Amino acid sequence: MNKAIFLDRDGVLIDNSKHYYIWKSDQLLLIDGVIDNLKILLQKGFLLFVVSNQGGISRGLYTKDDILKLHTELIQTFKANHIEITEAAFCPHHPEIEKCLCRKPDSLMIERLISKHKISKTDSYFVGDSKSDMDAADKIGIRGIQIVPNQNMFPYLSFLNQ
């Protein structure tokens, strides 16, 4: 079984202090320290996953293709820095428009990744910046680590010293 870190995208990897919805290349601004933090997680043997709610798709603000393009760019940016993201997943739904089980705080998006990549829940973590991220972690039985949005996550990664 593999151990993993599930990472919320906006506010954890990408600075979203200026944009609520992020779907364009010029909005892709990594939070200070992200590259170094992800390298440490990889060195500790974790697979890295991005999991993100993208309700702007359902609202018609942007398309799935826009998000796929941005995720490709994000993954390429990480790859250029010797960081492998195993997979990036997103929920395109918005609760005011339709119901789903994949949108955080529900957990289907993460459960699918756990099953597909043979992830050990007891050895994995969810790093997020919101209550819905922590609720999703609780629902599937992995440890949640809530960070302050748009700040370096390293101070919150004390589990690395265990």
Instruction: Extract the tokens encoding 38.
Output: 């992800």
Catalytic option among 8, 15, 66, 133: 8
Task: Give the strands of the sheet with 47-53, arranged side by side.
Answer: 87-91, 47-53, 4-8, 125-128, 143-146
- Nearest CA among 54, 52, 55, 69 for reference residue 113: 52
| 5 Rama class: left (phi>0) / alpha (psi -120 to 50) / beta | beta
Catalytic option among 10, 66, 106, 133: 10
pTM equals 0.95
Q: Which domain holds residue 60?
A: 4-161
108-116 vs 131-140: helix axis angle to the nearest 10?
A: 50
| H/E stretch holding 152 | none
Do β-strands 125-128 and 47-53 pair in parallel, antiparallel, or remain unpaired?
A: unpaired
State yes or no: is 36 an active-site residue.
no
Tell me how many domains the chain contains: 1
Can you say whether the dihedral through the CA atoms of 12, 16, 17, 20 is positive or negative?
A: negative
At 146, which CATH number?
3.40.50.1000
State yes or no: is 133 an active-site residue.
no
- Nearest CA among 159, 160, 125 for reference residue 143: 125
Q: Are 127 and 145 in contact (CB under 8 A)?
A: yes
Per-residue pLDDT of the chain (162 residues; tens, 9 = 90+): 999 999 999 999 999 999 989 999 999 999 999 999 999 999 999 999 999 999 999 999 999 999 999 999 999 999 999 999 999 999 999 989 998 999 999 999 999 999 999 999 999 999 999 999 999 999 999 999 999 999 998 888 887 776
Residues 6+ apart with CB under 8 A from 150: 11, 15, 16, 17, 31, 129
Q: Which residue, chain included where needed, has tokens 């890295």?
A: 48
Task: Output DSSP code: residue 94.
Answer: -
